[in-house]
Amino acid sequence: MRRQWWTAAGVNLLMGVPAVVPVWLLWYIAVNGPLADLGWTRREPTENDGMLLWWVIAVPIVTAFALLWWLANDFVRRRNTAATRVYWPACALVTLAPTFALMIFA
C-alpha cells in the first residue's frame, strides 16, 4: 500500500514540473483579462494583441496537460487503495507543488 502512495506522489510531482506552463498561462490570462477589468490588477503595458491570441495558445496547452494528467492519474489510481475523495485533491496539490516552490523561492 505504501508503495502505491509513493508512485502516485512521484507521478504527480514529476507532472508538476511541466504544469508550471499551463498554470502560468492561466495566471497571465486572469491578470490581463477579468482581474484587470475589475481593477484588481494592471494590464501588461506591452500587451496590445488582445486576449484572443492568448486563448488560442492557452486552450490547447491546458487541455493537453489536463488530459495527460487525468490519464496518468487514472492509471495510477487503479493500483491505489485511497478513497477517491482523498486521492484526487491530494494529487492536484502535489502537482502544484513545483509551481508553489517557484512562487516562493523566485
Domain ranges of the chain: 2-105
pLDDT at 47: 76
SS3 50: coil
Determine if the pTM surpasses 0.75: yes
Amino acid symbol at 58: A
Element of type H or E holding 26: helix 20-32
Q: How far apart are CA 59 and CA 61, in angstroms?
A: 6
Q: How far apart are CA 80 and CA 26, in angstroms?
A: 30
Read off the pLDDT of residues 10-69 as tens digits, 9 standing for 90 and up. 999 999 999 999 999 999 999 988 998 899 999 888 877 778 888 899 999 999 999 999
